[in-house]
């Protein structure tokens, strides 16, 4: 199942892209369900929604398919990022990937932009990079969980483009929070893809993650190329802090590409599972 947020009558509304090409409001498919995707996760309604979809969706639940697509939600409690989780990307920065514990950082909600929105390169900060990543979306309270159970707390995944002020980072690696938190430095969407659909596509460790720059593959790898698996990342950090429904854990990039105004960057998951595209301004 896939869920996206679109703009209807000046309001963000969670909708389901259906296999037959229609787009249906979740609150019409399952009456009483929140129309906000973040609230939908907090209400733990995904399983009931999937059952309702399987029972069939009436035409009066559907909306125009050309409704503008927004970021899936705008106010997660936290956006959690992982640095240098692929060895090749660490080499881009003249670093070695951490081997004993992962490197991490937090981003503010002010960094969020949705599909097709402009990633803004701030003037005067030197090189900025964009990095395609697999984002895990937390579906229920996750605290002090084991590696073996960690993925049971994941509602689904989202494509992510995470931006970095790389020139500033190279001045001092302790500037990590600063270089990750300019406005528009976190794009995600268009869809939350539930974990069961992702696993039906293929084993998670085989999922391709690719950074595409102006139509050309800059760098790609599979989840198996991560130093720390998604389950290991979530388990490890859940022993530091709780994760809540709607939190996003972005798992690191196979490669960062320098961006300039006029560029187009894209994250691809799989060959056709999902993609996110944003212009650069």
* pLDDT surpassing 90 at residue 110: yes
pLDDT in tens, 174-229: 999 999 999 999 999 999 999 999 999 999 999 999 999 999 999 999 999 999 99
* pLDDT surpassing 80 at residue 95: no
pLDDT in tens, 231-272: 999 999 999 999 999 999 999 999 999 999 999 999 999 999
User: Cα angle at 207 between 202 and 212, to 5 degrees?
Assistant: 140
* pLDDT surpassing 80 at residue 99: no
3-state secondary structure of 109: helix
In 175-272 the beta strands, taken as DSSP E runs, fall at 186-188, 191-194, 208-213, 216-222, 248-250, 256-259, 264-269
Q: Which residue from 180, 133, 178 is spatially nearest to 157, judged by alpha carbons?
A: 133
pLDDT in tens, 60-84: 999 999 999 999 999 999 999 999 9
User: H or E stretch including 38?
Assistant: helix 37-42
pLDDT score of 87: 74
What the block records as the tokens of 209 is 């993650």
Between strands 186-188 and 112-113, the pairing is parallel
3-state secondary structure of 112: strand
Domains of the chain: 2-63 (no CATH), 79-279 (3.90.850.10)
pLDDT score of 92: 63
Do 253 and 174 form a contact (C-beta atoms < 8 A)? Answer: no
């Amino acid at each position: 199942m896939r869920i996206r947020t679109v703009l209807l009558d000046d309001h963000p509304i969670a909708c389901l892209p259906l296999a037959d090409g229609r787009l249906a409001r979740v609150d019409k498919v399952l009456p009483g369900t929140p129309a906000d995707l973040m609230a939908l996760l907090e209400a733990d309604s995904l399983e009931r929604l999937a059952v309702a979809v399987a029972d069939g969706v009436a035409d009066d639940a559907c909306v125009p398919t050309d409704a503008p697509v927004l970021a899936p939600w705008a106010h997660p409690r936290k956006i959690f990022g992982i640095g240098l989780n692929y060895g090749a990307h660490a080499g881009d920065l003249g670093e070695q990937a951490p081997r004993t514990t992962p490197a991490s950082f937090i981003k503010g909600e002010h960094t969020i932009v949705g599909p097709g929105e402009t990633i803004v390169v701030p003037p005067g900060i030197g090189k900025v990079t964009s990095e395609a990543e697999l984002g895990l979306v937390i579906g229920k309270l996750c605290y002090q969980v084991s590696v073996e159970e960690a993925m049971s707390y994941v509602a689904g995944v989202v494509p992510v483009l995470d931006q970095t002020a790389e020139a500033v980072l190279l001045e001092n690696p302790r500037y990590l929070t600063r270089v990750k938190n300019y406005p528009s430095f976190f794009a995600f969407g268009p869809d939350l893809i539930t974990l069961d659909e992702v696993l039906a596509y293929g084993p998670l460790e085989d999922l391709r993650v690719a950074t595409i720059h102006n139509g050309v593959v800059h760098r790609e790898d599979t989840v198996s190329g991560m130093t720390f698996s998604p389950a290991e990342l979530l388990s490890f950090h859940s022993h530091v802090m709780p994760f809540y429904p709607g939190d996003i854990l972005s798992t690191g990039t196979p490669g960062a590409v320098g961006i300039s105004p006029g560029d187009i960057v894209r994250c691809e998951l799989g060959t056709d599972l999902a993609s996110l595209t944003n212009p650069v301004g």
